[in-house]
Structure 1
Amino acid sequence: MTTIRDVASRAEVSIATVSRVVNGNRPVHPDIRERVLKAVEELDYRPNFLARGLRQSNTCMIGLIIPDNSNPFYAELARAIEDAGFAAGYSVILCNSDLSEEKQLAYVDVLLSHKVDGVILIHQTSTPLKTLERILAENVPAVLANSDIPLPTLDQVLVEEHQGGYLAGQYLVSLNHRRIGCITISPPHSYIAKRIVGFRHALAEAGIELTTESFAMGNGRYESGYQAMQELLQRCPDLTAVFVFNDLMALGAINALHAQGIRVPEDISIIGYENIFYASAFEPGLTTIAQPIAAIGQECITRLLERIQQPEKPPTHITLPVELIERSTCRPLLAHNSIVESRSFS
């Protein structure tokens, strides 16, 4: 393996000069700098940034733990965080907990062993204490995103979940839907509860009450949306609209309807949540509540770097707005058609 000594010998300079060029922390004559860079390229020299970071008490590496990298929302959010981190001079180590607390704790140990400068945790459960205790015990800064866990001592990046649920309900009511179902996510995280409250609030303003039979649950994945839609149809065959708590499950729900010969939106309207890429690529285009993915990523990096640089700074909780994106999976009902004849499905 090429060493800094090899580069110094090839460029006919001292090791200290090579170090100054590579680190960029002191001025070097342009001719000498060019000679060193040429030697670096010819010898394919790769500095040991981890060792350098340990000497300088930082590694310029950040850990990112997400619950499910097969979900496009988390993939897109991870990309947004990686882009923001790279722009700030940090490398991001991605860890997928796969909805497993045991796997998440194992990844925390990996990140700590790599001496990361901080950790970002996305969509944690209501009991992430083991994970956080392990991180904070090492005095490593952490930021929670999209979690809404009552931990006032930690920086958090949140979205307006209540408003998101309210917008979905308000929109369906404005289209004259009254027989409305809902596919939520289990286990019921705190942010899910806020979304439900907002949705119920909008429907209650129109005199619509959601019964227990109007709810089905999935785990956030495509197949669970498909199965939940089947269950919902069995219990409530006369639905005209369904609010699905993430886009991936919404796409599964739409295909479950298609499999039974039910058209979207002609027979049942569907509204999702998140606005992943496939929401616009799918046909028909999915009407959804958009989370500000790029803004979440940028705020996560901003908050974490502020915490790294100012460890005594009071924690901040940032709440970002959501937005209704109208596409093609919802249609208005005529007022006299809002009460429809029950349908039967085999």
Structure 2
Amino acid sequence: MSDVASRAGVSSASVSYALSGAPGVSEERRRHILAVAAEMGFRPSRTARDLRSGTTRTIGLLLADITNPFYAEVAGGVVAAAHDEGYEVSVAHVGVDGTRQAEAAYAQVDRNCSGLIFTGLVASDKPLLDTLRQENIPVVQVYRRVEGELSDWVGIDDYHAAFEMASHVVATGRRKVAILGGPEASSASTGRLRGYQDALRKAGLTAVNEPDVWGELSRASGALHARTLFAKYPDVDAVLCGNDVIALGVLDVCTEIGKRVPEDMALTGFDDMSFSSAGPLQLSTVTVPRDLMGRRAARRLLQRIAGDNSPPRNDLLPYAIQVRSTTVPVGGR
């Protein structure tokens, strides 16, 4: 900055004002300084600026599974909203089992992130959240949430979405229904399971594979549990899945053993990933606004960073039931 000031014939303060967009110099002088800086190839150091101000314009995003398209799309929304406010996003992968949650969170804090967004919290993370609160680190929970946690949450009504989907499947004439859910520790997975179960009970049914309904949110888990399910219950005529990726694993096994969807069995997912309506698949599922979820979480976190001390909010986003060809009614086309 001193070199730019010398070349431009102005003070270092004027260079600082011009580069930051702050008032203090005329528009003509600002253009002159910027032109000189560009000619010299000068780029302001973000680190130096943060050190001078004592703050950073960076937030941390902790993703449960960076390979899952769901989390990638949430991340896209976070990055877009943060960029609009001049913030960068530091992304960390904590793993589907969450064993690196605390380690990753503290690493983000050590990098001076101004706040954190979590996508894979479970009840056992409560002590971590308590510590972050004591250190005045703003936190927003996305998708999953810890009951009783005094921080903001952004997500959908997983229970009622699952209830509607299961009710639709029952209405198609399916009666031997199985559930392949996500991890029991996930509040989203438990909400979806309860919705599926209550809809089946309302119709006088129970999932044929209860209580063996839990699994991972992965294609491999879906395939693994589907093989066991079809071996034990060969006449199952519907499978309600905890997400679209699990449904892909189930579909893999159906293809292997010659079980036709939807002629022999209805199949549903959850999340409505881009592949769910690609080509011949056309999976019945629940649309979750992933990009909006990320944007809302980032905006809420930035409000907290700016000093908003209002009570924690639950931001319930809209969902939509997508009925496609994998749940054609019995005898239908």
Q: Tell me the alpha carbon deviations over residues 271-293 of structure 1, each in whole angstroms, 9 at most, x when there is no partner.
A: 00011112122531211111121
Q: TM-score, normalised by structure 1?
A: 0.90
**Map of 2:179 onto structure 1:** 182
- Structure 1 segments (4+ residues) deviating >6 Å: none
Q: Which stretch shows the higher mean deviation, 250-259 or 274-283?
A: 274-283
**Map of 1:117 onto structure 2:** 114
Tell me how far 1:320 sits from its aligned partner. Answer: 1.9
Q: Which secondary structure state, in structure 2, belongs to the residue aligned with residue 19 of structure 1? A: helix
Matched, 1:192 2:178: no
Letter in 2 for 1:314: P
Q: Is the 8 A contact 2:226 2:250 kept in 1?
A: yes
**Map of 1:343 onto structure 2:** none
Matched, 1:226 2:195: no
Task: Write the distance in 2 (CA, Å) between the matches of 1:217 and 1:313.
Answer: 37
Letter in 2 for 1:199: Y
Task: Write the distance in 2 (CA, Å) between the matches of 1:212 and 1:264.
Answer: 19
Task: Write the distance in 2 (CA, Å) between the matches of 1:331 and 1:269.
Answer: 7
Task: Write the distance in 1 (CA, Å) between the matches of 2:65 and 2:98.
Answer: 12
Task: Write the distance in 1 (CA, Å) between the matches of 2:77 and 2:279.
Answer: 22
Q: Is the 8 A contact 1:245 1:272 kept in 2?
A: yes
Tell me how far 1:298 sits from its aligned partner. Answer: 2.1
**Map of 2:96 onto structure 1:** 99
**Map of 1:307 onto structure 2:** 304
- 58, 67, 75: which is aligned to 1:70? 67
- 148, 152, 155: which is aligned to 1:155? 152
**Map of 1:339 onto structure 2:** none
How do 1:18-97 and structure 2 match up within 5 A? Answer: 18-97=15-94
Q: Is the 8 A contact 1:108 1:134 kept in 2?
A: no
Letter in 1 for 2:167: Q
Task: Write the distance in 2 (CA, Å) between the matches of 1:268 and 1:328.
Answer: 11
Q: Which secondary structure state, in structure 2, belongs to the residue aligned with residue 149 of structure 1? A: coil
Question: 1:214/1:139 Cα in 2 relative to 1: closer, same or farther (>3 Å)?
Answer: closer
Q: Is the 8 A contact 1:62 1:92 kept in 2?
A: yes
Tell me how far 1:54 sits from its aligned partner. Answer: 4.0
Q: Tell me the alpha carbon deviations over residues 137-169 of structure 1, each in whole angstroms, 9 at most, x when there is no partner.
A: 321111111123213421111310111110111
Task: Write the distance in 1 (CA, Å) between the matches of 2:325 and 2:7.
Answer: 64
Q: Tell me the alpha carbon deviations over residues 232-265 of structure 1, each in whole angstroms, 9 at most, x when there is no partner.
A: 1112110111111011111111111111122222
Q: Is the 8 A contact 2:241 2:268 kept in 1?
A: yes
Q: Which secondary structure state, in structure 2, belongs to the residue aligned with residue 274 of structure 1? A: coil
Q: Which secondary structure state, in structure 2, belongs to the residue aligned with residue 329 of structure 1? A: helix
Letter in 1 for 2:234: P
**Map of 2:142 onto structure 1:** 145
Task: Write the distance in 2 (CA, Å) between the matches of 1:161 and 1:206.
Answer: 20
Task: Write the distance in 1 (CA, Å) between the matches of 2:160 and 2:303.
Answer: 28
Question: 1:157/1:213 Cα in 2 relative to 1: closer, same or farther (>3 Å)?
Answer: closer
Question: 1:66/1:11 Cα in 2 relative to 1: closer, same or farther (>3 Å)?
Answer: same
Q: Tell me the alpha carbon deviations over residues 207-231 of structure 1, each in whole angstroms, 9 at most, x when there is no partner.
A: 1122445744321111111111111
- 161, 165, 169: which is aligned to 2:162? 165
Task: Write the distance in 2 (CA, Å) between the matches of 1:282 and 1:98.
Answer: 31
Unaligned runs of 5+ in 2: none
Task: Write the distance in 2 (CA, Å) between the matches of 1:151 and 1:311.
Answer: 20
**Map of 2:126 onto structure 1:** 129
Task: Write the distance in 1 (CA, Å) between the matches of 2:24 and 2:256.
Answer: 68
Task: Write the distance in 2 (CA, Å) between the matches of 1:204 and 1:65.
Answer: 37
Q: Which secondary structure state, in structure 1, belongs to the residue aligned with residue 190 of structure 2? A: helix
Tell me how far 1:14 sits from its aligned partner. Answer: 1.5
Tell me how far 1:101 sits from its aligned partner. Answer: 4.0
Tell me how far 1:308 sits from its aligned partner. Answer: 1.5
Question: 1:5/1:76 Cα in 2 relative to 1: closer, same or farther (>3 Å)?
Answer: same
How do 1:195-210 and structure 2 match up within 5 A? Answer: 195-210=192-207
Q: TM-score, normalised by structure 2?
A: 0.93
Tell me how far 1:334 sits from its aligned partner. Answer: 3.9
Q: Which secondary structure state, in structure 2, belongs to the residue aligned with residue 106 of structure 1? A: helix
**Map of 2:255 onto structure 1:** 258
Task: Write the distance in 2 (CA, Å) between the matches of 1:36 and 1:7.
Answer: 8
Task: Write the distance in 1 (CA, Å) between the matches of 2:270 and 2:69.
Answer: 12
Tell me how far 1:85 sits from its aligned partner. Answer: 1.3
User: Percent sequence identity over matched residues?
Assistant: 29
Question: 1:232/1:249 Cα in 2 relative to 1: closer, same or farther (>3 Å)?
Answer: same
Q: Which secondary structure state, in structure 2, belongs to the residue aligned with residue 128 of structure 1? A: helix
